[in-house]
Structure 1
């Protein structure tokens, strides 16, 4: 069973810290995404941090796909590439908020 992200792509006002990191810190989006992947599937931080740097939107979409699989979220690789091309900080902040929210519910 698939679902959609609970967190909206432009839901910055629900958790301002992640948005400030994504927009104001160099490679902040990579850090947020790496944290989200580590939080959701426990893969560590290095690979998820480096993949978007070299693969830009495709690498970020691959990371996003891992989060989607873990939380059974509807998948659309083309849409993920577009989000990370035009709304990269927003997409990374959304992934971070989603992973934190889902993992907090499990505790």
Structure 2
């Protein structure tokens, strides 16, 4: 396989509530059909999500994962802001934390 992986597309899907575009629901594949479906999935989504590196997904460096619970109204506001600005909720939160720490350091 010699193809370019669209990391931004993969990241957007991973951070969304979109369903996985694999085999039709309820269908179990086996043998060559399963192998071919697996190949298509790897070609479409790649073999894993890269770390964030410095500023973008570069496949190098470290990017630990954190989880946070939000009140529903904050979550709704975050989703609305992200959609309005063409960003993912994760990017908005990363930017907000970066700005918070920069302000504290000043």
| Larger fraction in helix | 1
The structure whose RCO (Cα within 8 Å, separation 6+) is larger is 1
Q: TM-score, normalised by structure 1?
A: 0.30
User: Which structure would you say has the larger Rg?
Assistant: 2
